[in-house]
């Protein structure tokens, strides 16, 4: 059995809380993968101290060299990708093909972000003063706190760590308490790549550890991904100390089907988006907003696909999705299904599996609700499980009204062959990511990733501006004659 430790100033160590927590396989809860002794506030303080010490020399390493080190991280990660994918399937539950997909995606984004080391710079500007060279310099912030969820426990820590480090910061990573194994593997990759001790620190734990990191006076910036509930607490606590914050949070992502939609393609996209990864992607499809003319055929076809969909253990190639990640998540999803039953028509699934292969795991049947009204809780709240709400509408205008009538705004999709309608959708939809004729999920490294409204605050992650959050711009005026008596013109 594995023992997962914290990494503080280059030393692997148990947490000081004395609280030992088992890491359980969500596909079979009889199987314990390992255990972790959680950190406490004193460990967070030591990790921040180590990161602050390491910052002094890490910030002096030229950015292209820091980027080069990230290419070494990429090389080592790719060599270990198979082991990472296995560990991910074991502790988070997603099927092996999805874990491999997460690893492929991770490699691409490390590659993209590592290259930023050669582009990390400011800009020049014309000065109103003669003999004056005016420019901006980019500089790192110091120790950044990175708080991550369990649903992409490889991709998300990497997509925060790499830009943070390329920009010259040092980091304290607090991963989800449900995925300590993948987090340790990530920290080890940075160690093996020759990143100096103290530049990447890892502390395991839950709320207490996260709160200390957010509240630590020596941490000027927090990058958080997780639920809107926790993110809003993080945002508020950080604001009290005027910290820089980036929060990427929950979603309720709609797929729209207009009259001329290719039904087969749209059903396929909905199945993948709603039930793939057990509905536990932040970009998962959770609402299908369908014009009346297609609604009956859509619901019939979708319900059939939902009934045939086969969740199962992640290493079984016949499984199409894994279990929910934890008992807590199972309970929440089942509770929301009960709520939904009182508000709409459940046309498929919604029960826990109790056959011999799945009774010891957190498996549920993919669920489809029809005729979900815009204000129903099941249509408003993030369920984060394989549950799809169908909402019937007259036309694009009503579809947009329903689609935008939630507090979230991460991702969306429209199925139509009419370019004018597609463009009206793109203009009117309140989400940070928009797809036309493709599923709601996913995102590419070279484009910004994130949402609006209660989904996202602060600068977007990834894309060309990925290092913006992790650095600040300094305006510099150099009088290169050194002879002017006063440069103060205002
Ligand atoms: P969560 O909010 O429960 O936890 C996220 C992290 O915050 C964990 O590491 C947790 O230990 C920590 N935490 C908990 N309480 C804290 C506190 N008071 N202060 C500081 N940290 C605290 O989320 P989760 O269940 O791990 O992940 C699922 C959620 O993440 C979903 O809502 C999903 O939509 C969201 N998510 C969003 C994106 C995105 O980019 N928008 C991506 C992935 C996941």
- State the DSSP string of 371-431: S--TT-HHHHS---SSEEEEEEESSHHHHHHHHHSSS--SEEEEE-S-HHHHHHHHHH---
Closest Cα to atom 4, ligand 1: which residue? 226
227 lines ligand 1 (CB under 6 A): yes
pLDDT of residue 483: 82
Distance 150 CA to ligand 1 centre (A): 8
Active site residue 452: no
249 lines ligand 1 (CB under 6 A): yes
CATH topology match: 2-249+459-475 vs 253-436: no
pLDDT of residue 490: 63
User: How far apart are alpha carbons 458 and 220 in whole angstroms?
Assistant: 14
Distance 255 CA to ligand 1 centre (A): 24
151 lines ligand 1 (CB under 6 A): yes
285 lines ligand 1 (CB under 6 A): no
| pTM (predicted TM-score) | 0.98
Active site residue 282: yes
328 lines ligand 1 (CB under 6 A): no
Residue 237 CA, closest ligand 1 atom number: 19
225 lines ligand 1 (CB under 6 A): yes
Distance 227 CA to ligand 1 centre (A): 4
Provide the H-helix boundaries in 172-288.
Answer: 180-192, 207-215, 228-240, 263-275
For a mutational test of ligand 1's pocket, the pick from 159, 230, 448, i.e. the residue with the most ligand atoms closer than 8 A to its C-beta, is 230
248 lines ligand 1 (CB under 6 A): yes
408 lines ligand 1 (CB under 6 A): no
Q: How far out from the chain centre does Cα 371 lie?
A: 30
Closest Cα to atom 39, ligand 1: which residue? 248
- CA distance to 75, 148, 250, 371, per residue, from 70 (Å): 9, 20, 29, 49
Residue 455 CA, closest ligand 1 atom number: 41
CATH class entry, domain 253-436: alpha beta
pLDDT of residue 89: 98
Task: Give the closest residue to 252 by CA, choosing from 443, 365, 147, 404.
Answer: 404
Distance 378 CA to ligand 1 centre (A): 20
Distance 60 CA to ligand 1 centre (A): 33
451 lines ligand 1 (CB under 6 A): yes
Residue 219 host element (H or E): none
Catalytic residue among 98, 248, 381, 382: 248
pLDDT of residue 486: 67
The DSSP secondary-structure symbol of 295 reads H
- For residue 382 the two structure tokens come to 């993030």
211 lines ligand 1 (CB under 6 A): yes
Dihedral Cα 23, 26, 27, 30, nearest 10 deg: 50
How many other CB atoms sit within 10 Å of the CB of residue 480? Answer: 8
pLDDT of residue 1: 81
Distance 147 CA to ligand 1 centre (A): 8
Distance 232 CA to ligand 1 centre (A): 11
How many other CB atoms sit within 10 Å of the CB of residue 316? Answer: 13
282 lines ligand 1 (CB under 6 A): yes
Distance 231 CA to ligand 1 centre (A): 7
Fold of 2-249+459-475: Aldehyde Dehydrogenase; Chain A, domain 1 (3.40.605)
Task: Give the closest residue to 83 by CA, choosing from 200, 161, 164, 192.
Answer: 192
Closest Cα to atom 35, ligand 1: which residue? 226
For a mutational test of ligand 1's pocket, the pick from 227, 228, 243, i.e. the residue with the most ligand atoms closer than 8 A to its C-beta, is 227
Q: Judge contact between 427 and 433, C-beta under 8 A.
A: no
The domain limits of the chain are: 2-249+459-475, 253-436
For a mutational test of ligand 1's pocket, the pick from 214, 226, 380, i.e. the residue with the most ligand atoms closer than 8 A to its C-beta, is 226
Closest Cα to atom 32, ligand 1: which residue? 227
Catalytic residue among 103, 184, 247, 282: 282
Question: Residue-wise pLDDT tens for the chain (490 aa)?
Answer: 899 999 999 999 999 999 999 999 999 999 999 999 999 999 999 999 999 999 999 999 999 999 999 999 999 999 999 999 999 999 999 999 999 999 999 999 999 999 999 999 999 999 999 999 999 999 999 999 999 999 999 999 999 999 999 999 999 999 999 999 999 999 999 999 999 999 999 999 999 999 999 999 999 999 999 999 999 999 999 999 999 999 999 999 999 999 999 999 999 999 999 999 999 999 999 999 999 999 999 999 999 999 999 999 999 999 999 999 999 999 999 999 999 999 999 999 999 999 999 999 999 999 999 999 999 999 999 999 999 999 999 999 999 999 999 999 999 999 999 999 999 999 999 999 999 999 999 899 999 999 999 999 999 999 999 999 999 999 999 999 988 776 565 6
Closest Cα to atom 37, ligand 1: which residue? 249
């Amino acid at each position: 059995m594995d023992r997962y430790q914290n990494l503080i100033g280059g030393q692997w160590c148990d947490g000081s809380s004395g609280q030992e927590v088992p890491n359980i396989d969500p596909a079979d809860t009889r199987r314990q993968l390992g255990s972790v002794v959680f950190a406490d506030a004193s460990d967070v303080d030591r990790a921040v101290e180590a990161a602050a010490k390491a910052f002094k020399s890490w910030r002096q390493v030229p950015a292209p060299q820091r980027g080069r080190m990230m290419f070494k991280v990429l090389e080592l990660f790719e060599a270990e990708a198979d082991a990472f994918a296995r560990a991910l399937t074991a502790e988070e539950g997603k099927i092996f093909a999805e874990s491999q997909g997460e690893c492929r995606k991770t490699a691409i984004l490390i590659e993209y972000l590592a290259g930023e080391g050669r582009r990390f710079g400011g800009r020049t500007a014309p000065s109103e003063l003669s003999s004056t060279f005016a420019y901006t310099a980019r500089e790192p912030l110091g120790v950044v706190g990175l708080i991550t969820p369990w649903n992409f426990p490889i991709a998300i820590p990497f997509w925060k760590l790499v830009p943070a480090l390329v920009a010259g910061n040092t980091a304290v990573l607090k991963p989800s308490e449900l995925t300590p194994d993948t987090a340790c593997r990530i920290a080890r990759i940075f160690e093996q790549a020759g990143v100096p001790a103290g530049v990447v620190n890892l502390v395991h734990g839950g709320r207490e550890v996260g709160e200390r990191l957010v509240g630590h006076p020596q941490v000027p910036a927090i990058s958080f991904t997780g639920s809107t509930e926790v993110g809003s607490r993080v945002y508020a606590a950080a604001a009290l100390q005027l910290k820089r914050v980036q929060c990427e949070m929950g979603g309720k992502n709609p797929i729209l089907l207009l009259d001329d939609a290719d039904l087969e393609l749209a059903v396929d996209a909905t199945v993948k988006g709603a039930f793939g990864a057990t509905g536990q992607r932040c970009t998962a499809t959770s609402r299908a907003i369908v014009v009346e003319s297609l609604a009956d055929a859509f619901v019939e076809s979708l319900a059939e696909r939902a009934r045939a969909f086969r969740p199962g253990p992640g290493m079984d190639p016949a499984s199409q999705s894994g279990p929910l990640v934890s008992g807590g998540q199972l309970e929440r999803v089942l509770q929301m299904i009960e709520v939904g039953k009182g508000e709409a028509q459940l046309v498929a699934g919604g029960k826990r599996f109790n056959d011999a292969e799945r009774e010891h795991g957190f498996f549920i049947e993919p669920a489809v609700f029809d005729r979900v009204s815009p204000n129903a809780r099941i249509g408003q709240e993030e369920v984060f499980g394989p549950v799809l709400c169908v909402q019937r509408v007259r036309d694009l205008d009503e579809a947009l009204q329903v689609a935008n009538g939630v507090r979230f705004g991460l991702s969306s999709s429209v199925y139509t062959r009419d370019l004018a309608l597609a463009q009206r959708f793109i203009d009117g939809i309140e989400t940070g990511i928009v797809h036309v004729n493709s599923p709601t999920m996913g995102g590419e490294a070279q484009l910004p990733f994130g949402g609006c409204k209660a989904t996202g605050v602060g600068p977007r992650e990834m894309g060309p501006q990925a290092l913006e959050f992790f650095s600040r711009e300094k305006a510099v005026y150099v009088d290169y004659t050194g002879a002017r008596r006063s440069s103060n013109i205002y």
